Every structure is written in C-alpha cells, then in structure tokens.
A and B are shown apart, each in its own frame.
Chain A
Amino acid sequence: MTNVRFSSVSKSYGPVQAIGEVSLSVASGEFTTILGPSGSGKTTMLSLIAGIAQPTSGRIELGDREITYVPAAQRNIGLVFQSYALFPHMSIFDNVAFPLRIRKLSAAEVRDRVTDALRLVRLEGFEQRRPHQLSGGQQQRVALARAIVFKPDILLLDEPLAALDRKLREEVRSEIRALQRSLGITTIMVTHDQEEALSLSDHVVLLSGGRVEQIGTPSEIYHRPATRFAAGFLGLANLIDGTLQDGGIVQTSDGERIPGAASDRTPGSTVCAMIRPEDIRTHPDQGFLQGNVRDVVFLGEIRRYTVELDSGRMINANGSGGGAMREGERVALSWDPASVWLLPECAAEQGGH
C-alpha cells in the first residue's frame, strides 16, 4: 500500500526553486531515506510532507487522502528536526506529553504513554530534567520519543544523526532502525551521509539540485546507478567513457579495451562504464590494463590505490590482505567483466558532486 505520494511537486522560494517536478511514492511501513548534497532540497521535501511549507504546484497524498494544503496540525505526522527543537521551557516529560495533551488524553494515559515512549528510547528517569540538561544524543532521543508518542502515520527525520559523534551516531542509528521495525511505522529520513542511507533504508531517493536523480534500493543505486551523479555520490566510482564493441568490450579514445558484461545496446554506441574500486583486482603483471601505482591510502580494512594507466587515466582500486604495493610500482588491473555497469544515461554531468 502506498503511504506518501508526490505528483510533480515543485516548491519555489521567490526566484529560488528548491525542488522541481518531484514525483515519488513511498510504501507503507517502509524506511526511505532522502539522500542528496547540501541545498538539494531534502529539508524542503520533508517540510512539504509535514505541512510546514506548501508546494508551489503539484499534489501530495497521504494514504488515499490529498493533503497538499491540509494544515500541519491535522496531518498526524511526527517530525524530528536536525536541531531537535525541544521546547526549552518544558521538562522532558512535558515535551513528550505535549502532543498527547493536545489530543485531550486523560492524565493517567498521558503518564503511561510518555513513560512507554521514554522507555523505548531508553531515557527512563529523565522526566523532570530540562532539555539543556541533556547531551545531544539524549535530546535527539527525546525528540524521537515526542515524534512517536502520538502514534503518527508517518515519521519524518531531518538529518537526525548529523550532530552526533561517530560512535553515538551508529548507536542511535541502529536504535532508530529497531524502533522503526518494532513500530512498523512508515519512516522518511533525510541525510547527506551515503553510508547512513545505504545501511538503514529499504529505499533511497537520491536528490540533486531539487530533482530526483534516482529512486531504488540501496543496492540498486550502488551497483546500478542511473547517472554519473548517482555513481559518484554513493561511494567511489571509476567512470570510463568509450564506444561499445562486440562482446561487451568498451573501447576508449586512448585505445584501452575494457572487458564488460554483454549488453543489449547496439555496438558502436557511446557508453559510460562504471567499475567500483572493490571490484578491481591488482596483480604484478597479469591483467587488462597496466599502469603505475601513484598513491596508496591505508584505510584499515583495505588499501586504496590510485593507479595511473599508461594512457594517463587515473583508476582507483582497493587492495586487501598482505602483499601491499608501494608507490611507483608497476601493476596490472583486472576484474570480473560482469561487475562492469554501463550507465543508462551517458550525458555529461550537469551538477558537481
């Protein structure tokens, strides 16, 4: 069942178009992330769903109800801002109880549900504190408790983890995921952290410059990116332009021959091939392409080599285990041709990344 649907929604602030012609739908109970660089319109999308901003054109539906111009107060949507936005003059209890009191629940019921919500985010015993007496991660969890305590139809999270340090971020991240699973609540989270998007979500909506670049599962977007932007934004990608030859080989203008998967595209057409660094194997002398190691970056589990091919092209490749290569060494690169992906669109990139 569809829960949120955008039909060619645009939003402009004066002359600035924040998002343009966005269409998408989010299924009930799913965890969707909106991913994109800064200024790409992620917060704007959430504001439109929450109702704190109205679209300039287009249509937004929630379930089978059109909500394009329904006031925020009547939407029953839980929203967590990046800045938490806890009410500073209220105790933690009162913050979480705020939406319940609006709904005129009895005092006993308010107490029970606030206690439950705070237990869910592991903050029992903090009821009487003020927001400024909590750490960033704790405030974040209070904001979360306040957004779920009234059983909203949808939970919206705007970069909920951005202000937390790495360790805490991973902790809160898995908490959010577990909470979402146990409540079964449709969740849309904004992030500009690709790792967060890949690890958390059922679906990723990739935005760039206010437009949807691609929608898909994390693995689809990672392995089968639709555009150069998508390929470059999620992880490191080697992008090679050339013409398609028989047998899936991509021939570059420098004369390199890149073995790739068989394709149904007509031979001779211009294509853009993507190979992820982790799919490339290094060997002292056996491979498809030869070059010299220009740079080695140690990243813990892996080493990242930057290899300068004899044609001058730079290729990133990962190496793991023993037998590290050093700068200046000769190296041959090879890969499984099936791991080469031809981008469906080969147009030169419009936006930077």
Chain B
Amino acid sequence: MIDASLAIDGAVAGPAAAPASARRRFRWDLLLLIAPLLLVTAVVFDVPLLNTAYWAVSDAKSGALTTRHFQEFLESNAYMRIIWRTLFVSLEVTLVTILLGYPLAYWTTKLRPRLRMIVLALVVMTFWVSILVRTYAWIVILGNAGLVNRSLHWLGITSKPVEFLYNELGIVIGMTNVLLPFLVLPLYAAMLRVDQRLLQVAETLGASRLRIFWQVFFPLTVPTLAASSILVFILSLGFYITPAVLGGGKVPLIANMMDLLINRFARWEIAAVVSVVLMAITLTLYAVYQRLREKYQ
C-alpha cells in the first residue's frame, strides 16, 4: 500500500511541476505560510531518512562513526548484483510502459469524447483496486492453469504451459500494469494540449502524416513523456508486493532484499546502506534528467 500512496503523490507533483519555470523573486511571507508544512515534512519524512543515513555509517552499539557496513556491502557482491538487477528490471518496466502507454494515450485522444471517457475510466480504475488483489489476479490469468495458458493450449499453439510467472517476465507484466496510468494520464493530457493548428500548418507546408507525427507531434509530447517515464522508473525501484508475489521469491529486488535483511536477519545497518546507495542512484538519475531537460528546452 505504501507503493500506491507514494505513487499518487508523485503523479500529482511530477508531471505538473515539470513545465513550470520557477524563476520568481524569493518571497519570505510565502515561506512563513508554508513553514508549518515544511516542519511536519521535515520531522515526519526527513528526520527518519537522516536517521537511516546515520545507521549506515555508525556502529550499532557504540554509535561511533564507521565505514564497516559500507565495506561489507562492497565485499559481498550479492547486494550490488541485486541493485543492478533492480535497475535493469525497472528499466524494462519503464520501456514496456512507454511502448504500451504512448500508443494507448495517442489512440485515446483520437476517440470520440464519450469513448475517451470510457477508456480513461478503464485506465484509472486500476487505481481503485488494491495492488495486492490486482497482483494475485495476474496469477489467475497467467498461471500454469490460468486463462492465457489454457487458451493457448486449447488453440493448439503450445503443448506445455508457458512460464509467465515466478520469473522476470511475470514481474515486468505485473509492474507495468500497476504503473501504466502514471504514464498514460499525463501523456493523454499533454497530447490534448498540442495545438492542432501546428499540425495543420505542417500539413499545408507539405509534410506527410508520418513526418508530422515524428517532427511536430512527438517532440511536443517528449517533455511529458520524459517526466512520466522518470516517475515510472523511480516508482518501480521501490516495488515490493508485485515482485514478491509474481516473482515467487526467485527474482529478489531491492525492496524484497530489504525485507529479508530487516525481518529475517535484523541487519538494519546493511539495509540502511542499501537504502543510501539506492537513494544516491535515484537522485543522480533525477539530476541527470533535470540537466537534460534544461539543456533541451
């Protein structure tokens, strides 16, 4: 559930905040107004974060600063491997989400208004169903005796069940399903905002439909596509339920490793180190993205 609530915050803040170029004068009175909120945020979110960072570099008993945990983290390459694995799976999920989500959003804008509402409702509806329920639903659909495998068998396409679940494929399918709305909704809005007259003018200048799409329409949606892809990527780094259920414990990702470290082995310090590393990677990616955005806008 943490996944979902975090995600919704992100969806509101991410794409909406991206295009605003905030180069205004600093207003102390405004700072005063949001001070209580900042304070709550600091105490509730940032202090625990700092605390985690502190655990990563301190001795649990004496409290003295140490690099011991980081050394352990580096010596065992299991941790780094899982981090790479998570990054890779997140990248896959992001790519699949883009490949499915962009055409879906584009197609939706071409529908008649009433149909649009229905399609959007179907997309948004996944927000209303608990992640857990949705994830288990995939087992019904993709399991060895599931809907898809039975249909394939009945059609004579396969002789033995296809392994959709308990591997990376299952995880990617499940996560893509959860994350699709975060890409489709902002993209849909951005596509509707594209000035139709630009496309018409391009046509009068002699451009073919393909050229209009790739040289005018697509570039105008790229900023939103980039912002929502980054959002999807960052969200998928922290997925817990979906990999746990659909990966069947065979494909451990960072969140599942944390669960093991904390609940099974009570290795809070190592968990803290992994968190810090993960956060550093995320922030770096985000910084790179911001750089690129500024450079190309």
Q: Which residues of A contact B (CB under 8 A)?
A: 47, 50-52, 71-79, 81, 83, 85, 87-89, 98-99, 102-103, 146, 150
CA distance A85 to B202 in the complex (A): 9
Mask: chain B, 196-238; 1 = CB below 8 Å from A; 0 = not:
0110111111111001000110011000000000000000000
Contact of A99 among B198, B200, B205 (CB under 8 A): B205
Cβ contacts A to B, 15 pairs, < 8 Å: A47-B200, A71-B203, A72-B200, A72-B203, A73-B205, A73-B207, A75-B204, A81-B201, A85-B200, A87-B198, A87-B202, A98-B205, A98-B207, A98-B215, A102-B208
In chain B, what residue has the closest Cβ to A51?
B204
- Given A88-B220, A89-B219, check contact A72 B197 (CB 8 Å): no
Chain A to chain B: the 7 pairs with minimum beta-carbon distance, closest first: A99-B205, A72-B203, A52-B200, A79-B204, A85-B201, A85-B197, A102-B206
Contact of A103 among B204, B206, B215 (CB under 8 A): B206
- Given A88-B220, A89-B219, A102-B211, check contact A83 B206 (CB 8 Å): no
Q: How far is the CB of A101 from chain B (nearest CB, A)?
A: 9
In chain B, what residue has the closest Cβ to A143?
B201
Contact B204 A89 (CB under 8 A): no
Name the A residues within 8 Å of B203 (CB-CB): 51-52, 71-73
Contact B207 A78 (CB under 8 A): no
Q: Which residues of B contact A (CB under 8 A)?
A: 195, 197-198, 200-208, 211, 215-216, 219-220
Name the B residues within 8 Å of A76 (CB-CB): 206
Name the B residues within 8 Å of A78 (CB-CB): 204-205
Name the A residues within 8 Å of B215 (CB-CB): 98
Contact of A73 among B195, B198, B206, B219 (CB under 8 A): B206
CA distance A76 to B203 in the complex (A): 10
Contact B204 A72 (CB under 8 A): yes
Contact B216 A87 (CB under 8 A): yes
Name the B residues within 8 Å of A103 (CB-CB): 206
Contact of B205 among A47, A71, A83, A150 (CB under 8 A): A150
Contact B220 A89 (CB under 8 A): yes
CA distance A103 to B216 in the complex (A): 17
Total A-B Cβ pairs within 8 A: 58
CA distance A72 to B202 in the complex (A): 9
Name the A residues within 8 Å of B206 (CB-CB): 73-74, 76, 99, 102-103, 150
Contact of B204 among A77, A83, A87, A88 (CB under 8 A): A77
Q: How far is the CB of A146 from chain B (nearest CB, A)?
A: 7
CA distance A51 to B220 in the complex (A): 24
Q: How far is the CB of A162 from chain B (nearest CB, A)?
A: 14
Name the A residues within 8 Å of B201 (CB-CB): 79, 81, 85
- Given A52-B203, A72-B203, check contact A85 B208 (CB 8 Å): no
Q: How far is the CB of A291 from chain B (nearest CB, A)?
A: 51
Q: How far is the CB of B106 from chain A (nearest CB, A)?
A: 18
CA distance A110 to B216 in the complex (A): 19
CA distance A89 to B211 in the complex (A): 15
CA distance A79 to B215 in the complex (A): 19
CA distance A99 to B208 in the complex (A): 11
CA distance A85 to B63 in the complex (A): 64
Name the B residues within 8 Å of A52 (CB-CB): 200, 203-204
In chain B, what residue has the closest Cβ to A83?
B197
Name the B residues within 8 Å of A51 (CB-CB): 203-204
In chain B, what residue has the closest Cβ to A99?
B205
Q: How far is the CB of B284 from chain A (nearest CB, A)?
A: 27
Name the B residues within 8 Å of A146 (CB-CB): 205
Known pairs A47-B200, A102-B211; list 18 more (Cβ under 8 Å).
Answer: A50-B200, A52-B204, A72-B204, A73-B206, A73-B208, A77-B204, A78-B204, A79-B200, A79-B201, A81-B201, A83-B195, A83-B197, A85-B198, A85-B200, A87-B216, A89-B220, A98-B215, A102-B205
CA distance A234 to B65 in the complex (A): 87
In chain A, what residue has the closest Cβ to B222?
A89
CA distance A78 to B206 in the complex (A): 10
Q: How far is the CB of B100 from chain A (nearest CB, A)?
A: 25
Contact of B202 among A74, A83, A98 (CB under 8 A): A98
Name the A residues within 8 Å of B208 (CB-CB): 73, 102
In chain A, what residue has the closest Cβ to B197?
A85
CA distance A297 to B211 in the complex (A): 57
Q: How far is the CB of A95 from chain B (nearest CB, A)?
A: 10
Name which of A47, A74, A83, A89 has the most chain B CB atoms within 10 A of its CB.
A89
Q: How far is the CB of A79 from chain B (nearest CB, A)?
A: 4
Name the A residues within 8 Å of B200 (CB-CB): 47, 50, 52, 72, 79, 81, 85
CA distance A73 to B216 in the complex (A): 15
Name the A residues within 8 Å of B204 (CB-CB): 50-52, 72-73, 75, 77-79
Q: How far is the CB of A246 from chain B (nearest CB, A)?
A: 58
CA distance A83 to B201 in the complex (A): 11
- Given A87-B216, A89-B219, check contact A81 B197 (CB 8 Å): yes
CA distance A87 to B195 in the complex (A): 10
In chain B, what residue has the closest Cβ to A49?
B204
CA distance A83 to B205 in the complex (A): 16
